[in-house]
Amino acid sequence: MARIRTGLMELARVRSTVFAFVLFATFPVAAFCQNFTVTLLGTGNPRPTITRFGPSILVQAGGQSLLFDCGRGATMRLYQLKVDQIDGLFLTHLHSDHTVGIPDLWLTGWVMGRKTPLRVWGPAGTQEMMKHIEEAYAFDIHMRRDVDEKWPAGGVEVQAKDIEQGVVYESAGVKVTAFLVDHGPVKPAFGYRVDYGGHSVVLSGDTRYSENLIRFAQGTDVLIHEVIDAKAYAALANSYSPEEKARVLAHHTTAEEAGRVFTKVAPKLAVYSHIVPPAAPNLVSDTRKTYSGPLEVGEDLMSIEIGKEVRVHRANQ
């Protein structure tokens, strides 16, 4: 009897092992992981245009929604995607076109039901900036929190942190690393790398050609890089003198220079965002002088799924 019982137990163990193997083979690892999606909320620059909102990128991974920069219209784009709350805001630098949407994000998120503080990471000066934004809206906060609606105080609090190069965020398998880039005299300025589930995306922030960016971007699936169309910008009719235009050009990366970055990094996909000027017809042709790999010129609400393959979806698809 003991031998029969032992045999039956061994048979059950084998069947259990086989069933587990079949289940694992039927549903690959990717099926158990949440999506890793990057959405370009705004691909523009300081110039107001309806087709390219201010710079802002949404990264969704591990059940979290992380926002990188908060330019003009970022909150409107989030609501187009039915994203009413985010888990954190990461700033590349403190130029106004990257931060002007923060009051809307912060206060509208509270209006729409946020009960916990807005968390913000950014370069030196971020804490001070957020403190003054809170002061600017003190009347509205007092009315809504203490007098009229009596909304939860926690939802209008801000937890801001000045960061340095290195890992700045880790939660539920998502890791965010900040690295220094070269935005001319605008220092410090950061790019970010987001890693999740063995995949990654790198966001350049505002920068000219940067070897440090190339170092931190090695092995990434997707590299989203700022760009300036030098010929189109030189021909642009605005109030800047030729000398002022040359100074702007020196703060950014031309398409030919970006192509060299892409070639050294060799991502599965290279993408342009923060496009200067908004109409930039020479980007692809100039990039092809130095880079022959996969390339997309970003559009507002373009989304990128990152996994074993990289898939691009446009808003009109």
What pLDDT does residue 248 have?
85
CATH at 37:
3.60.15.10
Residue 178's nearest CA partner among 170, 89, 168 is: 168
Q: Which residues are catalytic?
A: 97
pTM score, whole prediction: 0.89
- Cβ(97)–Cβ(46) under 8 Å? yes
Tell me the β-bridge partners of 271: 224, 296
**Tens digit of each residue's pLDDT, the chain (317 residues):** 444 444 444 434 433 333 333 332 323 333 334 599 999 999 999 999 999 999 999 999 999 999 999 999 999 999 999 999 999 999 999 999 999 999 999 999 999 999 999 999 999 999 999 999 999 999 999 999 999 999 999 999 999 999 999 999 999 999 999 999 999 999 999 999 999 999 999 999 999 999 999 999 999 999 999 999 999 998 988 888 888 888 888 999 999 999 999 999 999 999 999 999 999 999 999 999 999 999 999 999 999 999 999 999 999 75
67 with 11, same domain: the answer is no
- Per DSSP, the three-state class of 166 is strand
Instruction: Find the domain containing 22 and state its range.
Output: 1-32
The answer on 65 and 2 residing in a single domain is no
Are residue 200 and residue 58 in the same domain, yes or no?
A: yes
